[in-house]
Amino acid sequence: MWNKTQHKVALCVACLLTLSSFASENYAPANDSITAEDLRRDVFFLTSDEINGRLVGSQGNLLATEYIEQRFSKLGIKAFTTIGSYRQTFNLLTATMGKENALRIQHVEGDPPLHGLTNTGKLGRDFYPERFSGTGRAEGELVFIGFGISAPHLNYDDYQNTNIKGKVVLALDHEPGEFESNNIFNGLIASEHGRALRKALEAQRRGATAILFVSDIHNHSISQTLNSAIQRIWPTEESRVVPTYQLETWVRELHIPAVRISPELAEQLAQNSGYELHSLAERAETVSGITPIEFSKIVVEVETFVERNTALQTHNVVGMIEGIDPVLKNEWIILCAHYDHEGEAETGFFPGADDNASGISGMLEIAEAYTLAGQQGYHPKRSVIFAAWNAEERGLLGSWAYTKQPLVPLDKTITVINLDMIGRNEEIPPNGGRRFGWLEPQTAESNLNAVNLLGYSYSTDLRNAAEEANEAIGLMLRFRYDHNQINLLRRSDHWPFLFNNIPALFIHTGLHPDYHTQEDLPEKLNYNKMVKVVQLAHQLSWDLTHKKTRPLLD
């Protein structure tokens, strides 16, 4: 028979075993390995003079690539055998406008001459080719297609089964209901459906020979002439930061000419077919799409010469840990951050400590926590991808490149957790203006323990999972920036995945006056707060690797 001491010892052992089992299922193992010291080490290296601002295509950017690779290797994070290394390569293009660009307008044979129109448009005054345009000559009768959007899943179609094969189409910029918070797209936030390249690809798919774009003048006053716009799109000198890059896997899909025309020319084209451009634009404001309208008297001939140059081959850095569940291991969670920044200027380089050395350091700390957990016998059931995206500052090009050529099927990717600017307290100065999206002023002190989560409105499951994960962390979670004119939701690397119907959360401690300046320094980061933010992301990811069901989109 046991004495009282033996009985107490047995009870203690049993409790410890129970707690250990509970921890393995409910608390992310090795979560406490995430430390301010480790975060600080990575941030200070990535913001050092040697790295020089991490501009995509620079030597400093390559050194950052190598650093992340070395950290993955040391941690035992595996590379994908399909690419043979941690580097997922993608190409960026630049474009040069050639001399052979022309726009000619004719009336249909037998009709009376056109009024107020010359037969030949003038480059810079009447038209110019878009940077993503194909090179070639095309002609066809002109058809107005409203905003030129086809979104079957939203029951929206500006083509309405109309045959436009062999036609030249005229499309408005942006999307219907642009300033309505409850429109069928993304409310006040511009959606991907309004991207001009997507409209051009859809027109090409339907057989159009060329596409013309014009400003949606019923929604936007035209303050600049086409001549000033061409200087911005086709500058004689590139900016100090970097050439205007485009993603090769996107642009090379488009072969037809894509041309921007002036509102004045578009008005003349409309009037010669008995319409007014403003009234046509207003007719395009529908919830289901406009029926295309033929400008029956007009034939447009377009000639474009846009030389596409593969300017840069660059890389994402991607590794993985495979899950242990024989079924669930085929489903994947992506933990990610971008590592490029703005490079240098005459006055010095842009350190980018918060944007986004902070996110990369957090992602690496989570990778280390998974490794340490594995050494203790704790493994995720689902598989995890750790991704450091490149060229985010150029338009999320690294993450878009991944979604075009994913390393695992997108339909097997259940969640994306994106860390971008997680090292400061949000601080919006009075009269912050356009730079801060006209957000309400707020002090850093009011956000001491706060973190913003974006993407919450797309998946209640994911929002609930984040709130559950935070119970052990104790941050103030703020769900407030999915729908406003600052458009933060589309400004980081979770967005390409949300667009592809994958639940995603953007973890972000907020904008501040040092954002995108040379004052975004590593010594200004709040590393103790960063620990809690990274622990939250780790806990959330661990929970999702073990849940029986995947989070769903609303």
Query: Which domain, by its residues, includes 81?
Result: 28-93+310-546
Of 304, 338, 353, which one is at a domain's C-terminal end?
304
Window from 20-24, 63-67, 218-222, 483-487 with minimum mean pLDDT: 20-24
- 481 and 343 assigned to the same domain: yes
Window from 232-236, 367-371, 510-514, 535-539 with minimum mean pLDDT: 232-236
Confidence of residue 11 (pLDDT cuts 50, 70, 90): very low
Residue 129: predicted pLDDT: 98
What tokens does 241 get?
A: 């930061």
How is the beta sheet containing 168-172 ordered, strand by strand? 102-107, 293-304, 136-144, 168-172, 210-214, 258-261, 127-129
Distance between CA atoms of 462 and 456, rounded to whole angstroms? 7
Window from 22-26, 51-55, 199-203, 298-302 with minimum mean pLDDT: 22-26
Residue 320: predicted pLDDT: 98
Mean pLDDT of 488-517: 96
Model pTM greater than 0.85? yes
- 440 and 397 assigned to the same domain: yes
Give a yes or no: residue 427 inside a domain: yes
Residue 434: predicted pLDDT: 85
- 78 and 172 assigned to the same domain: no
Interior angle at CA 428, CA 514 and CA 390, nearest 5: 45
- 202 and 249 assigned to the same domain: yes
b/e map of 505-519 (b: 16 or more CB within 10 Å)?
A: bbbbbbbbebbeebe
Distance between CA atoms of 489 and 498, rounded to whole angstroms? 10
Give a yes or no: residue 319 inside a domain: yes
- 381 and 449 assigned to the same domain: yes
Confidence of residue 114 (pLDDT cuts 50, 70, 90): low
Give a yes or no: residue 14 inside a domain: no
Q: How many residues does the chain have?
A: 554
Residue 238: predicted pLDDT: 57
Higher pLDDT, 334 or 186: 334
The CATH number for 294's domain is 3.50.30.30
Of 289, 304, 319, which one is at a domain's C-terminal end?
304
User: Could you tell me the end-to-end alpha-carbon distance of the chain, in angstroms, rounded to an integer?
Assistant: 59
Q: Which of 30, 19, 14, 159 is nearest to 538 (CA)?
A: 30
Of 274, 304, 334, which one is at a domain's C-terminal end?
304
The CATH number for 396's domain is 3.40.630.10
| 535: amino acid identity, one letter | Q
Mean pLDDT of 95-100: 93
Distance between CA atoms of 250 and 243, rounded to whole angstroms? 17
Helix (H) or strand (E) run with residue 460 in it: helix 460-470
Give a yes or no: residue 497 inside a domain: yes
Mean pLDDT of 210-234: 88
Residue 116: predicted pLDDT: 67
Q: Which of 403, 411, 541 is nearest to 473 (CA)?
A: 541
Give a yes or no: residue 552 inside a domain: no
Residue 22: predicted pLDDT: 39
- 296 and 425 assigned to the same domain: no
- 337 and 483 assigned to the same domain: yes
**CA distance to 39, 46, 366, 367, 433, per residue, from 33 (Å):** 11, 21, 9, 11, 40
Q: Which of 257, 183, 262, 175 is nearest to 215 (CA)?
A: 262
Residue 15: predicted pLDDT: 41
Number of domains in the chain: 2
**CA distance to 70, 79, 333, 402, per residue, from 85 (Å):** 12, 5, 20, 15
What tokens does 252 get?
A: 């090379």
Give a yes or no: residue 489 inside a domain: yes
What is the three-class DSSP state of 349?
strand
Residue 297: predicted pLDDT: 79
Give a yes or no: residue 366 inside a domain: yes
Mean pLDDT of 330-353: 97
Distance between CA atoms of 523 and 15, rounded to whole angstroms? 43
Write the CB contacts of 223 (distance below 8 Å, at least 6 apart in sequence). Answer: none
What tokens does 61 get?
A: 């950017």
- 351 and 408 assigned to the same domain: yes
| Average model confidence (pLDDT) across the chain | 92
- 432 and 485 assigned to the same domain: yes
Confidence of residue 437 (pLDDT cuts 50, 70, 90): confident
- 213 and 250 assigned to the same domain: yes
Name the burial class of residue 63, with classes exposed (0-12), middle (13-18) and buried (19+) by CB atoms within 10 angstroms of its CB. Answer: middle
Does pLDDT of 14 surpass 90? Answer: no
- 103 and 85 assigned to the same domain: no
Give a yes or no: residue 554 inside a domain: no
Does pLDDT of 518 surpass 90? Answer: yes
- 271 and 397 assigned to the same domain: no
